[in-house]
Amino acid sequence: MNKIFNPKPETWSAILNRPTQTVEDIELTVKEIFSEVQKKGDEAVAKYTSLFDGVRFENSEVSIVEIECAVESVSPELKAAIQLAKSNIENFHSAQKTDKVIVETIEGVNCWQEKRPIQKIGLYIPGGTAPLFSTVLMLAVPANIAGCNEIVLCSPPDKNGNINPAILYAAHLCGVTKIIKVGGIQAIAAMTFGTQSIPKVYKIFGPGNQFVTVAKQLATQFGVAIDMPAGPSELLILADDTAVPAFVASDLLSQAEHGVDSQVILVSTSKAMIEAVENEIQTQLEVLPRKAIAEKAIANSKLIYVDNDETALKLIDEYGPEHFIICSKNEDYFVNNIGNAGSIFIGNYSPESAGDYASGTNHTLPTNGYAKNYSGVNLDSFMKSMTFQKISEKGIQNIGKAIEIMAEAEGLQAHKNAVTLRLKAIENGK
């Protein structure tokens, strides 16, 4: 890892730069695949699944028999763990339900707001080197609580044409309505346009590599919403001398093993802590099965020393981490003042892994600094707010004159007339 001591604020932007490709590097590929899927549907999806995943299907939808076999093959211990996580996620997201808001803004003018589910949801679940069945829970559970009618899940197949059994089990457990063995750009394109076998959806959720991230952003140009521009995973830890070096190192490595383009950062007011954590990382790294991946991510990461908590907070807010762990005797200062972070973990016994799996909070979070302006996935992500109003004769009389004046000032005579006609009808009726 790169050690940096007391960097000047003008250098923070360069120091905190993410190790990602620019959009221009991959946008051309994404656009090409989108265009082909739009024109040729399943034929194009099959072509790119064969090209990228090495398999070709007559039917890419997962069958009931495949789901039943997957359910049988998942161990009782893993099933119990998934069910525990599901229960906690349900508890946390169910608590986010809100009541209808009703207000009489002025006598005779009744306005209210109600939330309704987004009817058609698409979930993208990465497979590859780490099949993220936990992400199925994080997305399908709140989608069901929200009341979404269709929940379509796309996940890349392995070389044998299968999806990891744990992904299928979690999808079955959480009420996913259709599971498709398609990944990458072609999956996002298929859910954007719809094909002969893959439904078009209204909003796409889920993390992925940089190609998937760009594909999701392109999908927004075709009337499909997305959760957020979620790219490679990242973690920033603030640690002083009250932190446990072994814990800090384990958390940094837990994010580094996600992928070679993951980024982990330690910010500390203790030089001794930085040295201890660096040593722990080397020790723990040696026994990791995903050592090669973690090593490459660690090479892009930073150990940053600053003199005080105030400087640390400013630097962390500038970065806007996806995950932020606070291990500090002054934890309240950071908890109360942090402005930009996706999900926050407090104290030595709150590992980021807890949020990834089973504490109940959602792990689909903004990366690449988008924590400055995006929320992580929550119940409202699967809903839309609709406003209603009912105005009585008294109500239109109370606001009618103001509407007429404002409409006329904007030069919109028809708007004014819509009110004037009603006011005259009321007057004549009397």
Binding-site residues for Zn(2+):
255, 258, 356, 415
Strands (E), 258-355: 263-268, 302-305, 323-327, 343-346
- 399's CB contacts (< 8 A; 6+ apart) are 106, 109, 391
Binding-site residues for NAD(+), in ranges, read 124, 186, 209
The answer to whether residues 135 and 125 touch, using CB atoms and an 8 Å cutoff, is yes
Q: Is 322 a catalytic residue?
A: yes
Return phi, psi of residue 159, to 5°: -65, -15
CA distance 398 to 139: 46
* Sign, CA torsion 156/162/165/171: positive
Which value, to the nearest 10 degrees, does the dihedral of the CA atoms of residues 358, 361, 113, 102 take?
A: 90
Query: Which listed residue (322, 331, 363, 404) is catalytic?
Result: 322
Query: Which listed residue (234, 323, 352, 363) is catalytic?
Result: 323
CA distance 48 to 242: 51
Instruction: Work out the number of other CB atoms within 10 angstroms of the CB of residue 228.
Output: 24
Strands, sheet with 101-106, edge to edge from the N-terminal-most edge strand: 101-106, 109-117, 383-391
Strands 178-180 and 2-5: unpaired
The answer to whether residues 387 and 112 touch, using CB atoms and an 8 Å cutoff, is yes
Report how far Cα 61 is from the mean position of its chain's Cα atoms: 25
Closest by CA position to 206, among listed 215, 197, 195:
215
Q: Burial letters for 251-287: b for 16+ Cβ neighbours within 10 Å, e otherwise?
A: bbbbbbbbbbbbbbbbbbbbeebbebbbebbeebbee
What is each CA distance from 24 to 3, 160, 210, 211, 285, in whole angstroms?
Answer: 31, 33, 11, 11, 34
The answer to whether residues 198 and 190 touch, using CB atoms and an 8 Å cutoff, is yes
* Sign, CA torsion 391/397/398/401: positive
Report how far Cα 50 is from the mean position of its chain's Cα atoms: 28
Binding-site residues, in ranges, read 124, 186, 209, 233, 255, 258, 323, 356, 410, 415
Catalytic positions, please?
A: 322-323
